[in-house]
Chain A
Amino acid sequence: MRATNMKKAILKSRMLLAPMVAVATLLLTVFAHGAAPGITGPSFDLRAEAAYITQPDGAMVYSWGYGCNTAPSGFAPSAIGNAFCSSMQIPGPTLIVTQGDTVTVKLTNGLPTAAGNTSILFPGFNVTTTDGVIGLLTHEAAPGGVVTYTFTATTPGTRAYYSGTQSDLQVEMGLYGAIIVLPSSIPSACTTGFAEKNRTAESHWGESDFRLAAAAYNHPKACYDREYLFQFSEIDPRIHSQAQAQVAAADCTPTATTPPALPPTCTLNVATEPYVPAYFMINGRSMPDDMDGNYAQQYQHQPYNGNPHMHPGEQILLRVIGQGRWQHPFHEHGNHVRVLARDGNLILSATTPDNSLAGPLLFTTTTTPGQAMDGIFYWTGKGLDWDVYGHNPTSPEINGKLPCIADSNGYNTVDPTAINYYEWCQDHNKPLESKPFGDVAKGGPITLPDANILTNGAWYGGSAYLGPNATVRAVGFTGTTPPSGTIANSPTDEAGFAFMWHSHNEREITTNNIFPGGMMMMMLVDSREFRIDESN
C-alpha cells in the first residue's frame, strides 16, 4: 500500500498514468538500494538471447541481451542474497574479476537465427579468441555457435563491454554490459583511519559491507565506502519493433544440412536511422523502475537498479558508463564528483602522481558512448550555516543535544557510533528558523511559510532537517502539514535528504513522452540512525 501510494505521488503530475502505475507497482519492494552487483569469475559462460524488457509505461520491448548460459561461479557482493542471472538481461551480467586474473568469456549465440552472428568487444584489454568465425572487429559466434574470449585483467577499473557485430543494431537492442576489475592490492589508507572508522559506524548500526573491494584502484585516493554502477542507454522503440517483426517474418528453414545452408530470406534489414529514442534508461530501467530493488522479481531481464543511499561523510564510488548512442549530461545534485579515472586509467598529477589526483571536479558528468568513468562523491552539509540535525542544547531528548567535537577538518568524527558522526561542527546548534515550532534551536535567519502554500514532494523528509529524530522534534510524526505528500521518505523512518540524479538533457527524464521517467533517480543522504540495507 505504501509503495503504491509512493508511485502515485511521484507520477501524479502528468497525464495518462493510471495503467502504468497499476502495472509497475504490484511487486514493488520497499527497501530498494543499490551497490554494484554482478557475477564473479574469472571464467564466464555467457549467452546472447532475445527477450522482452519492461518499461514503466507498460511497454514490453523486444530486446537482445547477454545473460548467463549456465549458473555463474558466484555473485558479488555476497551481502546481496537474492541474486540471479537470467539467460538474457539488460545490461548484461556485470563481470567482476581481480587484477591479474586470466579471464575467459565463452559466448553462445542464442539470438534468433535471422539476427546472424554476435560477439563481445572488451575495450582496454588484449583479447585472444578461440572458436567462432572471423568477423570485422573480433571473432563472432554464428547462430547457435560459440566463441571464447581470453584476456588478462591487467589493470583495475570500470569498463564497458558490448557487441562488436553490426553494433548500430545489436548495441541498440541491448547487447552491452560492464566489467569491473578490482585492484590486486589495497592501499593501507583504505583500511585504516576514516575507512576503518566508517566500517565501525556501519557495523554499529547493523549494516553490511556492500562493497566489492575497499579501493577502486591501488591508490590512496581511490578508497571508498559505497559504490554504484550506472549504465546509460536509450531505446528507439521503432527499431525494436522492426527487428521483432522481421525476425518473426524471416524464413530460416535450412535449405541444406551438409553443409548447412540458410535461405537468403533469413536476414534482417532494420533501419537504425533516423534515430528517435523514446526510452532513456539507467541500468536498463527507466524511472521509477530503476529505484526498485536489485534482482526485483518483476524485472527478470533487468536485474540492476539505480537507487543510491549514503551517510554523511562516506566516500561514494560512482562507476558510470555510456552504453547507448548519445551523450548524456548526468547531473549529480548535492555535491561535485571528483573524476578518478576514465576507462580504467587513473588521472593523476604530473608532479606527485603517488598521492595527488588531477581529474576535474564536476557537478555534471557527461556519459559518452563506450566510455566508463570512475568518480568519488560525498555529502556532509558543510557550510550550510545551520545545523542540519536541528540540535537544540536545551532539548529534553538526549539525541536532540548530542555534542559535536570538531576534528582538524571541522567534522565530528571522534565517536563513529554517534548519530551525528561526521556532522559539520561549525554550524552545530546553529538555528535555521527564527521562531521554530518544535524542539529545535531558535534565533535563526529564516521564517518558514505556512505549510499550506507549499506542495510536499514524495521524497520530502517532512522537515528541513536530516533524520527522523530531528524531523519528529521539529514538526512531529507526520512532517509538516499537509502530511500526505511524504511517503517515499517517511518522517519517522528515514527522513533523509533526497537529491535528484538525472540527465540534464531534461527531455530524457521522460518515458515515451510521459514525465516523469527516463534517466532519473533519487539519491538519499541518510542520518546514521537509518539503516541502509542494499540487499534487496
Chain B
Amino acid sequence: MFSGKSYHIWLPILLVCLATITAGAQSFRVQCPTTTITHPTAANLEPAYTGPTNFAPGPAGYLVPNPSSVNGAIKCQQISGGDGFATMGDGTQTYMFSFGPLSGLSDIANGLPGTQFPDKFNSVYNGTLLPGDPATTGLATFKFNGAVGLVPNLDCLAENAAAAAQTPPAALPCPNLPAGGLDGHVDPRPIMDIGVLNGNIPAPLMALDEDDEFFLTLTNVGQIMRPDLFEQHTVHFHGYPNASAFYDGVPDASVAINIGGSFTYYYLAPDAGTYFWHCHITPPEHLQMGMVGQIYVRPRQNRVPVGQSLLLALQQQQQDPRTKCDSSADILCSNPLPRVPNVLLGTRATTGNYAYNDGDGSTYYDVEYPLQIHGFDPNFHFVGMTFNPEGFTEMKDKYFLLNGRSYPDTVTEGPLQTMSADGAMHFSQPLPSIIKLKAGQKALLRISDLDVTEYQTLASLGIPMKVIALNARLLRDQAGNNLYYNTNSITLAGGESLDVILDSTGVPAGTYFLYTPNLDHLSNDAENFGGLMTEVRVTN
C-alpha cells in the first residue's frame, strides 16, 4: 500500500479518513485481551517458574514465545479519575481530587489489590450497580470484581450475525469479536453511577507478578464538585525502569486523558519491587488533593515450586537477557547471584513469599502490608473545593496519613466510608494499617511516600526494622553481598519507597506501634492526638 514517495502523500490523506471514522467511536472503553503475542494461550493463573521463556522467530518478523515456556499472565484493572470525599481522623469530611475503583470493587473494599486476571475482569455485573456501591449494597453481598460498565457489543453481534446469515456468508464486520461480544465496549451509565464521587485514598491498590502484561484503563469521569474545571488525569508508574514516555503519564511529555475518555496504559511488569503511582497533572495540586496510589510487583521467586532451589531458579533467570542481572554489563541491576549461597533458607518455602529474586531466601515474609505515607493540608483542600486558585508556598499539611487514614482510624478494621455530596455512602478509605503477626512470623512492609511538602519519619517501637530494599531495588552490592540493615526508623520524602521486614521472632505477644517521631505529625489538625501512627499486633 505504501510504496516509495507516494507513502508521504497517502499518509496525511488516510489520517484524515481515520479521524472521520473514529470521531464517532465511543470514548469510554476497557481493554483486557485474553491472549497476546506474549501470552498466546488464554490462562487465568500464574504458571510455576521453572525456567526462562524461550523465544523463536515468528512469521511476522518478531520473536514469539514457546507456549509451554511462557511465564506470567495477563492482568487488567480499571480506575476512575474524578473526585470524592474522605473522612479525616478528627471526623472532618475532606474534598479530594481522586482515583476510584472501576473494577475489582469487592477486592478493593476488602483491602486487597484490585488487579484481576482476564476472566474476572471481563465479567458482566448481573443486575444494576447502585451509586456508592459496594457500600450501598454492602460488603457481605457485593462480590463483583469485573469491569464496571462492560457489556456485550450488541451492534457487533448483530452485524456479525447478519453477515453470517447471507449466502454466501459475507465477511464479518467485527472479525475479532470474542464469544459473548465482550470486546471492551462499555455502557457509560454504570460507569458514571459508580465512578462519580467514588474517590479513594489511597487510590486503588495494584499488584502484579513479574512477566505479567498489565492493562490499566483510566476512565475520566470528571469532577462533579468542580464543574469549572476540565481536568485531565494520567497515571504515572513511579519508578518503572526503562519507562516509555508515552505511558509515563507526564502530560507534558505524552498525552493526558480528557473528561469522558478512557485510555489504557500498557506495561510488561517491571522487575519486582515496591513502586507507587499517581496522577501527573499539576502534581503539587493533584497529589496534595489525593491522587496517589500503590503498586507492587512480586518476584518470579514466589512461583518457584515448593522445595526447589532458589539459587538454581535465579541462575535460570540469567539465561534470559531480560531477566538476568550481570553486574559486569549492567550498572542498573540490583540482584546478581548472592555471593554466599544460603543453605538454610535456600529452597522455596511451603508458605509465605519473597519480596525480591534474592536467590538466598533472605527476603522471605509471611504477611505483607502496603503502607503509603501522605499528608493533607485542610486549607488547600478547602480552597480546592472552591473555584479559587490555591497557593503553593504556604502549603502546610495538618493531617498525616498512613493509607489515607490517621490514627486511630488506621486501626479500624474494614473500609472507612464517607457520606458524599451525592447523598450516598462511599468506601473512601479501604485500607486499614493494622500489622498482624503471629509470633515468629515476618511481615513485609511495602512503604511508599507521596507527601508533597516534607520528609516524614516512621519509627518502630519494640520490633526492629530490617531494611531490605530502597526504591524498589534489593540492597545488594554488585558482588552479591546483601547490604540489609537494621534500624528503628526510616525517613522518606514524597517520591521514595523502601521495603522493611518486621521479624516477630522472640517478640512477646502484644501491641507495638509504628509512629512518627516528627511529633507535630501525631495530630489530626487541631486535635493533639492521632496522626501518622498505627499498631503492630503480635499474637500467639
| Alpha-carbon distance between A496 and B252 when the two chains are bound, in angstroms | 13
- Of A38-46, A73-81, A427-435, the stretch lying at the interface with chain B is A427-435
A residues less than 8 Å from B253 (CB atoms): 457, 459-460, 489, 497-500, 522
- Minimum CB–CB distance for A506 against chain B, Å: 4
Among A8-16, A83-91, A210-218, A265-273, the stretch that binds chain B is A8-16
Q: Give B328's nearest chain A residue, CB to CB.
A: A355
With A356-B477, A382-B242, A426-B322 in contact, do A338 and B332 touch (Cβ < 8 Å)? yes
How many residues of chain B are within 8 Å of chain A by beta carbon? Answer: 101
Query: What is the bound-complex CA distance between A497 and B332, given in angstroms?
Result: 20
B234 nearest CB across to chain A (Å): 10
Indicate if A290 sits at the interface (CB-CB under 8 A): no
Tell whether B18 is near chain A: CB-to-CB under 8 Å: yes
Write the nearest CB–CB distance from B259 to chain A, whole angstroms. 9
Interface string of A472-504 (1 = CB under 8 A from B): 100111001100000001000000111110101
B248 at the interface (CB under 8 A from A): yes
Interface string of B221-258 (1 = CB under 8 A from A): 00000000000100010110111111110111111111
Give A488's nearest chain B residue, CB to CB.
B252
Q: Are A335 and B493 in contact (CB under 8 A)?
A: no
- Per the bound structure, the CA–CA distance linking A338 and B332 in Å amounts to 6
Asked if B126 is at the interface (CB within 8 A of a chain A CB), the reply is no
Question: B129 at interface (Cβ–Cβ under 8 A)?
Answer: no
Count A/B pairs, Cβ under 8 Å: 315
- Docked Cα-Cα span, A516 to B283, in Å, equals 9
- Cβ proximity bits B189-227 to A, threshold 8 Å, 1 near / 0 not: 000000000000000000000000101000000000000
Closest beta carbon of chain B to A314's beta carbon, Å: 12
A489 CA to B250 CA, complexed, in Å: 14
Most buried by B among A408, A475, A502, A504: A504
Cβ of A71 under 8 Å from chain B: no
**Residues on A with beta carbons closer than 8 Å to the beta carbon of B14:** 437
Taking a contact as CB atoms closer than 8 A, the residue among B29, B246, B321 that contacts A449 in the complex is: B29
A406 to B57, CA, bound (A): 13
Most buried by B among A381, A430, A452, A453: A453
B122 to nearest A CB, angstroms? 15
Count residues of chain A with CB under 8 A from any CB of chain B.
Answer: 112
Q: CB distance B257 to A454 under 8 Å?
A: yes
A278 to chain B: closest residue by CB: B393
Instruction: Determine whether the beta carbon of A509 is less than 8 Å from that of B470.
Output: no
Q: Name the residue of chain B whose CB is nearest to the CB of A459.
A: B253
Q: Which among B7, B263, B339, B451 is the interface contact of A397 at CB below 8 angstroms?
A: B7
Would A499 and B243 count as touching, CB distance under 8 A? Answer: yes
Question: In the complex, how many angstroms separate the beta carbon of B510 from the nearest chain A beta carbon?
Answer: 34
A476 near B12 (CB under 8 angstroms)? yes
In the complex, residue of chain B having the shortest beta-carbon distance to the beta carbon of A498: B253
Asked if B56 is at the interface of the complex by the 8 Å CB criterion, the answer is no
Instruction: Say how far B389's CB is from chain A's closest CB, in angstroms.
Output: 5
Contacting residue for A356 out of B60, B327, B452, CB 8 A: B327
The reply on B509 being an interface residue by CB < 8 A is: no
Which of B184, B283, B472 has the most chain A CB atoms inside 10 A of its CB? Answer: B283
Interface string of B320-364 (1 = CB under 8 A from A): 011000111111101000010000000000000000000000000
State in angstroms the CA–CA spacing of A144 and B25 once bound together: 73
B326: A residues at CB distance < 8 A:
409
What chain B residues lie within 8 Å of A130 (beta carbons)? none
Q: Which residue of A lies closest to B21 (CB)?
A: A450
Interface check A331, CB cutoff 8 A? yes
Query: Contacts of A438 on B, CB cut-off 8 Å?
Result: 11
**B508 adjacent to chain A (CB < 8 Å):** no
- In residues 409-453 of chain A, which contact B (Cβ within 8 Å)? 409-410, 426-432, 437-439, 441, 443-447, 449-453
Q: Report A500-536 CB contacts with B as 1/0, cut-off 8 Å.
A: 1010111101101101100000100100000000000
**Is there an interface contact between A358 and B473, defined as CB atoms closer than 8 Å?**
no
B9-64, CB < 8 A from A: 11-12, 14-15, 18-19, 22-23, 25, 27, 29, 31, 33, 36-38, 55, 60-63
Instruction: Identify 5 residue pairs between A and B in the complex whose beta-carbon atoms are under 8 Å apart, listed by A's number.
Output: A426-B321, A450-B25, A454-B257, A476-B15, A498-B252
Starting from the known contacts A336-B239, A445-B33, A445-B37, 16 additional A-B residue pairs (CB-CB under 8 Å) come to A14-B282, A333-B236, A338-B332, A360-B470, A360-B471, A381-B244, A384-B242, A394-B61, A395-B2, A430-B37, A446-B215, A450-B22, A452-B23, A461-B245, A504-B452, A515-B392
- By Cβ-Cβ distance, the 10 closest A-B pairs, closest first, are A504-B495, A453-B261, A410-B321, A393-B61, A329-B493, A498-B253, A497-B245, A358-B477, A356-B478, A385-B268
